Structures are given as C-alpha cells and as structure tokens.
Chain A
Amino acid sequence: MSKGSVLGPFVSLKYLFEKPRTVAYPYQRREISPRYRGFHKNDLEKCIGCGNCADICPCDAIEMVKLPGIEADPKRGSTDERPQINYGRCTYCGLCVDVCPTGSLSLSQDFIHNDVTPESFVAVPRDEKAAPELFDADTDDFTASLIHRRKSDAGYKSELAFTFAHLDGHAKEMEVVPPEERVRSFVEMVRGFTREQAIAEASRCFECQVCEEACPAHMNIADYIRDIWAEDYHQAARDIYKTNPLPEVCGRVCTHNCEKACAMSHRGDPVSIRWLKRYAMDQIPLADYEKALGTPIVKPTGKKVAIVGAGPSGLAAAYYLTLMGYKVTVFEEKEKPGGMMRYGIPEYRLPYPALDKDIAYIEKVGVEIRCNTRVGKDITLDELHRDYDAVFVGIGLQRGRSTRIPGTDHSNVFQAITLLRAITRGEEITVTDKIVVIGGGNVAMDISRSLARLQMNKYGKVDVTVTCLETEEIMPADPEEIAEAREEGIRIIPGRSPVRIEIADDEIVGVHTVCCVSVFDDQHRFNPQVDEADKLFIPGTMVVEAIGQSADDSLLPDELKQQLEFAGRRVKVNEYYQSSIPWLFFGGDFVKGPDVITGIATGHQAARGIDGYLNRPAEE
C-alpha cells in the first residue's frame, strides 16, 4: 500500500477560481424550506382556543391566555382563550400544529429574535389578518424578529387532509334499522354501538372540553368519554350523574349541542357523544345502579319541596334536591311520569324501558312521584305552598298551537301533541290513507313518522306529506330527522304557507297553500311574506298541525299571576329560576328551551337555587 503523497492538499487550489459555495449572508439570502418550523402563526378567528396545543406541548411552552376582543362562543365550540408561546421553552417540534383541530396554528420561516427584554420572548401568535402592524412588507429575513415579522413567511402547517393528522375525522358508523323495516313498527331505530365501536369512537376524543361549555347542563363529557374508553362504565355513570339524572333518555334523544361544538367537527365528523352516553348507561343494569353510583350519603334537612310535573326539569330537580336532603314529592297529572319524554317523543326514538330505567333510579333515591294528580284541580298551588317549603313548577308546553286557517275546526284536523299522547297511551286513532302535516320542527317529524308507521300497518303504504313555512335550509327540525323521514317515504314540501283546508261533503280533501317567500323580517322577527300567485294544493284526508306549543298555566291562581313578573310571554326568573315569588321556582320548557337537556339543566340549577333559598349555602 502506498504511503501517500504530501502534495495532496494542493487539490484545493482548483477551487481558487470557482464561485464560493457558502452563502454570503447577509448579502446573499438562504433559501428557507417551505416546511420550516420557525415562529408560530395563529389565525385567531379560526382558532377555537381548545388548548390541544398546550396539552401536547412536551416543554410546557404554551399557555392559554385570555385576549381582549376574543369572546367565548360555546355554540361554535370556541373559548375566549388563545395560545401564548414562551420561546424560552419552545423546541419548535411542531406537535402543536399536528394536533390543531382547526388548522389555525402554523409555523413560519422566521426564527431569529434578538431583544434585551425577556418578556419579548413570550408572544401570542397572530397572523397578517389579526396583526397587520406586526407583518411588515419591508421586513426581510435579516431584520425579521418576533416583534417585527415579515410577510409571506409561511412554513410548517397542519395537513388538513387526514393523511398526516393525528386526528381521526371519521366517526364510527352507527347501525340503524333499515327504513323499509323500521316503518313497519315502533321498534327503536338506532341499534347502538358494539363494544369495539364504542371504544374506537371514545378514543377519538381529545378531551378539549369545548363540548362541555356548549351543553346546557355542562356535563362532564370528556371525563365520561375517557371512562368509556377505559371501559370503566361505573365511573362513567358517576361522571354522568353529576349533572344529568336522565342519561338513558339523553343518550337517545338529546339535541346534542355538544356534537355541534365538538372540535373534531373541524376535521370531519364530531365524536358521537350522545351514542357513547347511551352505550355507557346500557352497560349497567338497573340493579347495579346503586353499586355504580354509590349509596348517596344524605343528611336530611327536614324540609319539603313540591314539584309540579314529572318531566325532565321536574325529575332533575327532584333527584338533586333529594340528594341534598330534602323530602321531595312530584305531582304529575298523567298516569305515568316522564312528561314529554313519554307522551311526546315517539317510541322508536325513545323506548319506554329506557325512560322507565332512569325514572326508576330517581324513585330509588327517595323521590316520591304522585301520578294522576293535577295541581290546580286535585290539589291547589296554595295547598302546596302551605304544606311544603318551596315549590318547583316544570309543566312544559302542553297545548298545541293552531294555524287558525279556515277549516281547522273540522273533526279530522288534529294537534300533533294530542295524537302523540294518544299513541303513547295506545288509544285507537283513525288514521286515513292520505295525511297532511303542517309544521317543520322535530314534533312535525315525530308525528309524521309515527303516522307513517300506523298507515303502514293499516294500509300497507305510507302517504304523509309534511309542509312548512321554512325552506329546507332553515327548517327547525334536525337534518337527520328530515333525512330519516324521507327514507321512510314521507314527502316534505318546505316553503309553503297554508291558506285554507278544502272540505267537500264534510270530508277533508286537502290543503291549499301559497309560496312562502320569507319567514323572518330584517329584525329576525316572525313575519312571513307570501307570494299569492304561486299556489299549490296538497291533497289529504286528515290534517295534523305541528307548528308549536304553548303553556297551560291554568294551575296558577289569578291572584298569584298578578304577583308574578313576566318577561314577554314567559315568567321572569333569576339565574336560579326563582320567580318574583320567592318560594316559587320555574323550570323546563315553560321558561327555557324547549328540549330535554335544557330542562334537566334548569331543574338542576333550580335545585341549587331552592337549596340556597332554604337557608343552606348553594353548592359549587
């Protein structure tokens, strides 16, 4: 082997006349990678402040801070906090960007910051839109810094496509009974998750908790989803019962505001929170409830509370008041407790055993429910005031509203709420083979789908037409309800205003309608405008009105009514649902809503209020 030459180093001479390959900074600019992981940028409007970035940060460099001008918007799932980065800790790993559900957070190509003040190394990332003064067109990469950024410096960003995102945007599909099968009976249409599906679905949750703000009852959603993921159903039940004593009901029919706010919906499907709750509660038989929830330690206060109406708000108030040590009696007009959950919501959405299970546990903790007792008739409110320390009224909206168009006095024109009640009771209903339903809300969908089932049994075919003022985009019914109704063969003609019911030989022939151009005026007040020239006749031999309900407040004696303050049509209540008469509390659809979860939330809050009113400091 050769010993080598000493002349080797002279090979470098050949580079003498070549162009230098090093970058002559700052006269020459280094080209920075389009994926560069430099300082953060954040679209403050797109950002929902979920805090995922702060949670994933391995260096605790991110803190969620309140910013002036940023308001919380729970319905959109947005909080009033936004991330702030401490560049003394940041490692520029970019995990915060990878888990950002909205994709608002990104990194830039800028990475140099020199300053004598340590505070300047802590910054709330913004983008050109939010802070035009920060992003200067004249700044170049030589002068750029945290407090003087340069325009168009986009670097590493979140992949909104699912390929490289650490979020699974696809919800596990829920199995439902096919339309042709379910329209034949009142069998529950949603089959529920299997164990594998439930765990997979629960594992999609990031625990950012924006859903909990959106929930009227502020349920501990992240907690119970984590329990379901860990298959600890008893703990899930404990977390659920903290704020909701009707989980079997809510797991089926809740309006799921939580899912509308879910951060995951920015990347695809929201987490199926409602079905997960149902799954968790379905895993625990009623006999195990006491074991799961623990025997409540109740110190009797010796005081008594009367509750009028065994609907969601009344039952929730009764449950929490009982746990606080009050002797609670619920007065219910009908033969069974449940209110609208039993007599309004059809069985195919909420089977009665599920409702009975929830109510059975509420009775088990010591709530007394007196059915067939109408306050105002069988017992007066004054008597309740005399015998009890406080009274909670959750009577809901029991009266159907009428369109009052000519022909509504015909005997084959019904109120949806009356029919739904009759169906629950198993009463015989004379269903014709051609039905027109007026209304575009969930009650209209409930009654038309119930009638479709009755028609199918009687005539072997479905002929129900739903018509409403609203166009399909603004129909108040849930989009999935509308889609499912259509699957079951129900015709929906939105954007029509009924004019009169055509009657020939004492029989209904159909409904005359005209086109409804707009429902609300500029101030968003209900003020329908119609186009008289655009006429449509909808044939049918039976008409059902489902355009809304009103309260039946006949239980309130006149002298009491005069003492009560009203806000518009509703009774004025404070934040604890206490009316201007201190011993009288109101809740449920009567004051807020209408839906089950709002009813539960008002009942729970009123329970805290009653507890406070009865000389005990309110808990929490």
Chain B
Amino acid sequence: MSNRLNLFFGPQHAGVSGNFNITVTLEGETIVGARIHLGFLHRGFEKMLENVGFLQGFPFVCRINVMDPDHNEQIYAMAIEELAGIEVPPRAHYIRTLVLEMARLSTHLLWLNGMAGAMGFYTVNHWAMLARDEILELFSLISGARVYHIYILPGGVRRDLPDGFAAKMTAFLDDFEQTLHDFDVALFNNRVFRKRTDGVGVITQEEALRDGMTGANLRATGLARDVRREEPYAAYADLDFEIPTRIEGDSYARAMVIREEMHQSVRIIRQVLDKLPDGPAWNRTPNPFKWNIPPGEAYVRVESGRGELGGYAVTDGSNRIRRMNYRGPSLPHGLVVLPRILVGMTVPDIAHMVSSLNISVPEIDR
C-alpha cells in the first residue's frame, strides 16, 4: 500500500522549455523521486552530419540548440578548421565574437523570459522577449535570418557586417543597459523573487564538479571557470571581461551570475565594435563538391550560454565527417542534477528548477 503518486510533467507543459518528460513521484506535496524521459525531440543530427558534405552540415548544427544556435555553428566550424588546417582572418574572429556574445545575450534573455514566467513575473517576461527580439532583428541584418543564422562558416564568417551596423548595435546596447537596470529593480532585487529563489536548489561546488556541471551553474558555486578564459577562441584573448561568480550555489546565485554575464556581454560587444580590425572576413575554403579532409580527430570547446559546449569530430579522409559528437552542457544539468535536486521540493518548483538550471532540451536530445 502506498500513498505515492506518479505525476507526468511534460513533454507538453507551459513550464518546460522543450519537449522532455519528468516523471515525479509525490508523497503528498513533496517530491520523493524524479526520472527524466527523453526522445520526444530526437532528430538525429549527429547521424545526418555523416551523410552530407562539411559545408552542408551547417543548416543542421545550428538547430541542435534552438536558443543558442551560433555556438553550435562555431564549434562545428572550429572542428573543421582544426582538422583541415584552415586559418581564420582576425576580422572574422572579431565578428564571430560579436555574434557569439549577441547569441549569449539572446539566450540569457530567453532564460530570463522563462525564469520570470515560471514565477509569474509576466512584465519582465515580456521585456526580456522584446529585448531578445531586437537582437534577432540585428542578427537578421548580419546574416539574413533571425534564428538559424548559418553565419559562421569554416574560414570565417559568411558575409561582412552590413554598413551602419555598429551604430544600430550601439543604440541597442545603450537602450539595453537601461533595460538591465529595470530588470534589477523589477525582478532581481524584488523581495518576492528573492523569497522564491534564496536557498532553493542549492548545489555545492563538490557536487557540481562531480556531476560535470559547467557554465553559470558551476560559477554560482564559487568557481570561476570559463572556456573563454581557459582556452580562448575567436577574439576573446584580446578582450577585457570579467567572469562573474557567486558562492551560494542556489537558484538566486545562478540567476545573478547570468544577470551579470549579460552585463559582461554588453562590455565585450562594445570592445569588439571599437577594435574591429580591417581585412577579409573569410578565407575561401575548398570547393564544397571537392573537399576531402585528411584523417584526424579533434575536440573543440566553447563557452556557450549554458556552459561548456564541446565537439568531438573524426574525419577519415573522405568528403564527409566520420563522426561528430556534441557535448551539450545541458546534458548533466538536465539528466543528472535536475532529478536529484528536485527531491524534497514541491511541484511549483519543477518549472522553477528547469529554468534555474537553464536546461535546453534540444541540446540533450539531439
């Protein structure tokens, strides 16, 4: 005899971003167990990459993470560049940095949208969406598309920045800094938000390291670890930025790290616009129909909006990639950490924790 209840949370649920299912076991109000079920969003991208040419993989890789597509393009481009020995011109490195930071802003804003929404702060929810939309319009100016940019290609970027882009970007940043302040007042310094997040979902540094956590979730436990600093790619080595950390390891700490990262992204974009070197933005890569890459393997990594995004690529001398494995940062966050920390919480915290850990389901279930 048991008074336990199994509750199916997702795959279709307003509080879950992406299609996965959490089966929680309840005793009364309290969660005593949780299991994650995947497979509702599986598109087989890694397999598809094995069946198309190197260039043709880009329309697929950006779709691995809908919310943060550019880091996936960057990692695929970096893997191919390393295996094929392609140089990237300095201007392209800077433009890539610009695009990647815009992507970080947009994915953080989408996180803010979800986080605020999960707590009922619908005004902030809409402000975040509007600010993100303005970034998407800027993306559209650069790449011709709002979401799936297919802009970073091996050898650099697909097109140079359009005329007058810097002015539009600066105008957005000026405005956005004001919006960030509004977020502070309306959400981050709001007592209701503090009450809901302070001391909730605490993860210690040891647990975080043991479970393979990266990104803001790890930095909220006091460890300043960031691929942009440890193994700088694109133009990050030339730029001045801080790695925000907190020590509490709770939901509020994670939120504040992300909030501070948005501020750092604004700083980085301003520096990129200032320092943008002249010269070509793309080194021509081989004819896409006659492009073989010598046998080899490479592991490349970047700091995506959610943490360390890794790519393990193997080539066999043919015109196709032999294997491309993505290491999405949400994988440990969603599959390992989430079911563990849900235990002892109540049902209203489920959506909160999915948002707080900033889990991207398409990244796990690719």
Contact = CB atoms under 8 A, between A and B. Distances in A.
Interface of A: 2-6, 8-9, 11-12, 21-22, 31-37, 52, 55-59, 91-95, 98-99, 107, 155-156, 159, 162-168, 202-207, 226, 229
A95 B55 contact: yes
B81 to A, nearest CB: 16
A204 B287 contact: yes
Interface string B140-152: 1111110010100
23 contacts: A3-B194, A4-B188, A4-B190, A4-B191, A6-B190, A8-B187, A11-B182, A12-B182, A21-B130, A22-B130, A32-B140, A34-B162, A35-B142, A52-B289, A58-B52, A58-B53, A58-B59, A58-B60, A95-B56, A95-B288, A166-B287, A167-B287, A202-B290
B191 A12 contact: no
B123 A206 contact: no
Given A4-B193, A93-B150, A205 B143 contact: no
B162 A35 contact: yes
Contacts of B187: 8
A404 to B, nearest CB: 54
Nearest to A23: B133
A236 B288 CA distance: 21
A592 B261 CA distance: 75
A167 B288 CA distance: 9
A168 B283 CA distance: 12
A59 B130 CA distance: 32
Interface in B57-92: 57-60
Contact of A36 (B55, B56, B140, B182): B140
A4 B189 contact: yes
Contacts of B52: 58
Given A3-B194, A4-B193, A9-B121, A91 B289 contact: no
A11 B150 contact: no
Counting chain A CB atoms within 10 Å of each CB, the highest count among B144, B145, B192 belongs to B144
B111 interface: no
Interface residues of B, number: 44
A91 to B, nearest CB: 5
B57 A58 contact: yes
Given A6-B191, A8-B187, A95-B288, 9 more contacts: A2-B189, A3-B194, A11-B185, A56-B56, A94-B144, A95-B55, A162-B284, A164-B159, A205-B287
A168 B59 contact: no
Main SS at interface, chain A:
loop
A6 B144 CA distance: 42
Interface string B287-331: 111100000000000000000000000000000000000000000
Contacts of A92: 145, 148
Given A34-B162, A93-B59, A5 B141 contact: no
Interface in B188-204: 188-194
Nearest to A31: B137
Counting chain B CB atoms within 10 Å of each CB, the highest count among A36, A57, A159, A162 belongs to A36
A32 B288 CA distance: 30
A207 B53 CA distance: 15
A488 B144 CA distance: 53
A4 B194 contact: yes
Interface string B166-190: 0000000000000000100111111
8 closest Cβ contacts across the A-B interface? A58-B56, A35-B144, A93-B59, A8-B190, A33-B140, A37-B144, A4-B191, A4-B189
A35 B159 contact: yes
Interface of B: 52-53, 55-60, 121, 123, 130, 137, 140-145, 148, 150, 158-160, 162, 182, 185-194, 280, 282, 284-290
Given A56-B56, A58-B59, A168 B284 contact: yes
Nearest to A33: B140
Contacts of A58: 52-53, 56-57, 59-60
A12 B186 contact: yes
A52 B288 CA distance: 10
Contacts of A4: 188-191, 193-194
B194 to A, nearest CB: 5
Nearest to B156: A164
A95 B59 contact: yes
A91 B144 CA distance: 13
Contacts of B60: 58
A289 to B, nearest CB: 27
Contacts of A167: 287
B197 to A, nearest CB: 11
A205 B290 contact: yes
B186 A156 contact: no
A223 to B, nearest CB: 13
Contacts of B150: 93-94
A165 B52 CA distance: 20
Contact of B282 (A3, A164, A203): A164
Contacts of A99: 288
A56 B319 CA distance: 13
Given A4-B193, A11-B182, A206 B287 contact: yes
A37 B102 CA distance: 20
Contacts of A229: 290
Contacts of A37: 144-145
A57 B284 CA distance: 19
A30 to B, nearest CB: 8
Nearest to B126: A22
Given A4-B191, A8-B185, A12-B186, A33 B287 contact: no
Contacts of A166: 55, 284-285, 287-288
A155 B55 contact: no
A8 B189 contact: yes
Nearest to A157: B144
A37 B274 CA distance: 29
Contacts of A32: 140
Counting chain B CB atoms within 10 Å of each CB, the highest count among A8, A164, A167, A226 belongs to A8
Contacts of A36: 140, 144-145
Contacts of A204: 287
B265 to A, nearest CB: 21
Contact of B186 (A2, A8, A202, A203): A8
B192 A6 contact: yes
A164 B192 CA distance: 52
Nearest to B139: A33
Contacts of B286: 203
Contacts of B182: 11-12
A203 B290 contact: yes
A496 B287 CA distance: 47
Nearest to B63: A91
Nearest to B282: A164
